[in-house]
Chain A
Amino acid sequence: MKNILLKLLVSFSFLLFGANAFAAGNLNLYNWSAYTPDELIEKFEAETGIKVTVDTYDSNETLLAKLQAGGSSTGYDLAVPSQHFVEIMIKEGLLEKVSGIQDMANYKYVAKQFQGPSFDPTAEYSTPWQLGSASFAYRADAYSGDGSSMMEFFKPSDEVCGKLAVFKSADEVVNMAHLALGSNFCSENPDEMQAVLDLLLEQKKCVTAYSSEGINDRLMSSEVIMHAHWDGYSQVGKWEGVDDLTYAYPKEGVVGWFDSLVIPKGAKNIDEAKTFMNFMMHPENMAILSNFASYANAIPESKKYLSEDMKNATNIQVPDGIPVVFGQACNENATSLVDKVWTKLMQ
């Protein structure tokens, strides 16, 4: 009996350590949910022989928390934070410096204005993923408004009240509130933040759920008829059957974001991660991603490979004159104010 136990233990240790050693290479990708097309992974695996596992998170904040808690290594080789969080992560020492990004074969495809962006000026930490905006989306058949003002989201009409859902995390929602109230992002002014809190508290009375996942399902089942949303994902919702799902571009503007691939500190498969970074900068591959997630990207030549659906995607086309205000990395004071507001909201 003891012998059998011993044998079992030994063989399982082999499985544990051996499985990794025998593979050509492994890659652990940590990405937003519903943001990684199977087709893309399969293509990458076929081309490189590297085995990819994908774990998901629902917000930048969750990602940041996970990286912070990870100590010397989270086990992830790649993550996809938004621009201002890349800044924070660099500052907090959570990212690996990646040598030779600009020498990567496909780097030439990146549009000039995105080479060395403000959050990563020396291009030592990130390569582009996608860009888009955050606002709200509604079922046009059930909602009589037209999404022309951000206040329709924060002070919903009676038909929306009780059928409204908001993102679970602070960052984008607080910024949307800033747009609605006309105050600046990263405000350190307590009065302005109090106004934000009051607005959110009033909205809470009409909110059914705070969640950043399963958005299209909630809209599809008509559990809610208005939801905080992202432009591309709302387009995907339309494709998947919510025909009247309309993304709002209110006059106050929408919150812009730019996601990038980064390598968390202590990543074990850095070479494989760099291979993937290079892979993603190729127009064909970026197009697969855009065709799936329906967002704009930083690789102009990928337009050649975009699907018809993408070319006709109405939800991601920004109308003239609507400002797209990108989120910024706030300093500690401002961040702590945002956290306070959100904590008070969630109580």
Chain B
Amino acid sequence: MKLKDKKLKFRHVWNFPGFGGWTAIFFGFLYIPILVLISYSFNAGKFAMIWTGFSFRWYTKLFSNENILDATFNSLIVACTAAPIATIIATFSALALVRGGNFKTKEFSNGLITLPLMVPEIVTAVATLIFFAFLGINFGLINVILAHSVFCIPFAYMPIKAALEAMDPNLELAARDLYSNKSSAFRTITLPLLTPGIISGFMLAFVISIDDFIITLMVAGGGATTLPVYIYSMVKMGVTPEVNAVSSLMLCFSILVVTGYWFLNRKNNN
């Protein structure tokens, strides 16, 4: 059979009926809550669940709410500090683990990097809280930044590792022949090639830090409230569409960052 016919045959046999419809329902399940959330943010009425009309008023109220602006500012400070720290650590670790050959502590180091992902977030949150309390470390936002830097590392690591592994090692070999200095070889060849991976890692770490809630909730002290923690207190207090508005904005922001990351990766792969 010709290849084209073979392909047709596969599609015929291997496409189960109903799976397409099921996938549509699947995506519906994934996205309808988000759409509901966003559409209710335009609710004119005061109570989030009772629709009374279309209005932008919650968004305008948002921008005059100082507490929200403070919380957003805090979130940004934390993410902009923790993400670079995590990315730098992840880059060095990736270089050592991917290019460093086999060495005794390799398994252990790999384990260390995935540790924040394996430990349930509530356990990390509580342990970090106790740790800071016992050592008397209490520098407000810095506590949060420290905690975030830790769990952002695995997220920054993944794309960088993937980029390093995908890189052709022969390029580096060739570069070393051309350049006498090992570090210029690194700077002019490896690093630029690695940069999209590093930026991807940074973006993932950034999004993760902005979105974090549980760890920040337990660890944050006064004046260190981030946006998700503030939203939590709003949700507990009573559901006004203002919460929807803030949430929608946060959602769109995260989606934009991730989309950017995706486009960056696609360009890189092609």
Q: Is the CB of A71 within 8 A of B222?
A: no
Q: Is the CB of A34 within 8 A of B84?
A: no
Residues of A within 8 A of B236 (CB): 33, 58, 211, 213-214
Q: Which of A5, A26, A53, A213 contacts B237 (CB 8 A)?
A: A213
Q: Is the CB of B233 within 8 A of A70?
A: no
Asked if B122 is an interface residue, CB under 8 A from chain A, the answer is no
Q: Is the CB of B238 within 8 A of A71?
A: no
Asked if B67 is an interface residue, CB under 8 A from chain A, the answer is yes
- In the complex, which residue of chain A has the Cβ closest to the Cβ of B85? A9
Q: Is the CB of A76 within 8 A of B222?
A: yes
Residues of B within 8 A of A33 (CB): 233, 236-237
Residues of A within 8 A of B239 (CB): 214, 217
Shortest beta-carbon distance, A52 to chain B, in Å? 9
User: With A26-B223, A213-B236, A216-B238 in contact, is A9–B138 under 8 Å at CB?
Assistant: no
Q: Is the CB of A69 within 8 A of B129?
A: yes
User: With A9-B84, A54-B67 in contact, is A74–B191 under 8 Å at CB?
Assistant: no
Residues of B within 8 A of A5 (CB): 84, 88
Residues of A within 8 A of B225 (CB): 53, 55
Q: Is the CB of B81 within 8 A of A12?
A: yes
User: With A5-B84, A55-B222, A221-B49 in contact, is A71–B237 under 8 Å at CB?
Assistant: no
User: With A213-B236, A217-B239 in contact, is A71–B138 under 8 Å at CB?
Assistant: yes
SS class of chain B's interface: helix, strand, loop or mixed? helix
- Residue-wise, chain B 204-242 has the 8 Å CB interface mask toward A (1 for contact) of 000000000000000001111100000001001111000
Residues 244 to 294 of chain A near chain B (Cβ within 8 Å): 266
Q: Is the CB of A69 within 8 A of B49?
A: no
How many angstroms between the C-alpha atoms of A288 and B132 in the bound complex? 38
Q: Is the CB of B237 within 8 A of A214?
A: yes
Q: Which of B77, B191, B237 contacts A1 (CB 8 A)?
A: B191
Asked if B80 is an interface residue, CB under 8 A from chain A, the answer is yes
Shortest beta-carbon distance, B236 to chain A, in Å? 4
Residues 1 to 53 of chain A near chain B (Cβ within 8 Å): 1, 5, 8-9, 12-13, 15-16, 26, 28, 30, 33-34, 53
Shortest beta-carbon distance, B194 to chain A, in Å? 10
Shortest beta-carbon distance, B64 to chain A, in Å? 10
Asked if B70 is an interface residue, CB under 8 A from chain A, the answer is yes
Shortest beta-carbon distance, A221 to chain B, in Å? 6
- In the complex, which residue of chain A has the Cβ closest to the Cβ of B235? A214
Residues of B within 8 A of A213 (CB): 236-238
Q: Which of A28, A69, A72, A217 contacts B238 (CB 8 A)?
A: A217
**Is the interface on chain A under 10, 10 to 19, 20 to 34, or 35 or more residues?**
35 or more
Residues of A within 8 A of B191 (CB): 1
Asked if B136 is an interface residue, CB under 8 A from chain A, the answer is yes
How many angstroms between the C-alpha atoms of A213 and B240 in the bound complex? 13
Q: Is the CB of B237 within 8 A of A16?
A: no
- In the complex, which residue of chain B has the Cβ closest to the Cβ of A6? B84
User: With A5-B84, A8-B80, A221-B49 in contact, is A69–B133 under 8 Å at CB?
Assistant: yes
- In the complex, which residue of chain A has the Cβ closest to the Cβ of B221? A75
Shortest beta-carbon distance, B231 to chain A, in Å? 13
Q: Is the CB of B222 within 8 A of A1?
A: no
Residues of B within 8 A of A28 (CB): 222-223
How many angstroms between the C-alpha atoms of A15 and B80 in the bound complex? 11
How many angstroms between the C-alpha atoms of A9 and B85 in the bound complex? 9
Shortest beta-carbon distance, B142 to chain A, in Å? 8
Which of A5, A13, A217 has most chain B Cβ within 10 Å? Answer: A217
Asked if B140 is an interface residue, CB under 8 A from chain A, the answer is yes
Q: Which of B47, B88, B134, B195 contacts A217 (CB 8 A)?
A: B47
Residues of B within 8 A of A328 (CB): none
Asked if A87 is an interface residue, CB under 8 A from chain B, the answer is no
Q: Is the CB of B221 within 8 A of A70?
A: yes
Which of B84, B133, B222 has most chain A Cβ within 10 Å? Answer: B222
Shortest beta-carbon distance, B200 to chain A, in Å? 14
- In the complex, which residue of chain A has the Cβ closest to the Cβ of B137? A71
- In the complex, which residue of chain B has the Cβ closest to the Cβ of A72? B136
Asked if A226 is an interface residue, CB under 8 A from chain B, the answer is no
How many angstroms between the C-alpha atoms of A217 and B136 in the bound complex? 39
Asked if A220 is an interface residue, CB under 8 A from chain B, the answer is yes
How many angstroms between the C-alpha atoms of A25 and B11 in the bound complex? 69
Asked if A77 is an interface residue, CB under 8 A from chain B, the answer is yes
Q: Is the CB of A266 within 8 A of B80?
A: no
Q: Is the CB of B80 within 8 A of A53?
A: no
Shortest beta-carbon distance, B27 to chain A, in Å? 31
Asked if B152 is an interface residue, CB under 8 A from chain A, the answer is no
Residues of A within 8 A of B224 (CB): 75
How many angstroms between the C-alpha atoms of A34 and B138 in the bound complex? 27
Residues 158 to 192 of chain B near chain A (Cβ within 8 Å): 191
Can you list 13 contacts pairing A with B, beta carbon distance less than 8 Å? A16-B142, A26-B223, A53-B67, A53-B223, A55-B233, A56-B233, A69-B133, A71-B135, A72-B136, A73-B221, A74-B138, A75-B140, A214-B236
Known: A70-B221, A71-B136. 19 other contacts (CB 8 A): A1-B191, A1-B195, A5-B88, A12-B80, A16-B81, A33-B237, A53-B225, A55-B225, A71-B132, A71-B134, A72-B136, A72-B138, A73-B138, A75-B138, A213-B237, A217-B47, A217-B239, A220-B47, A221-B47
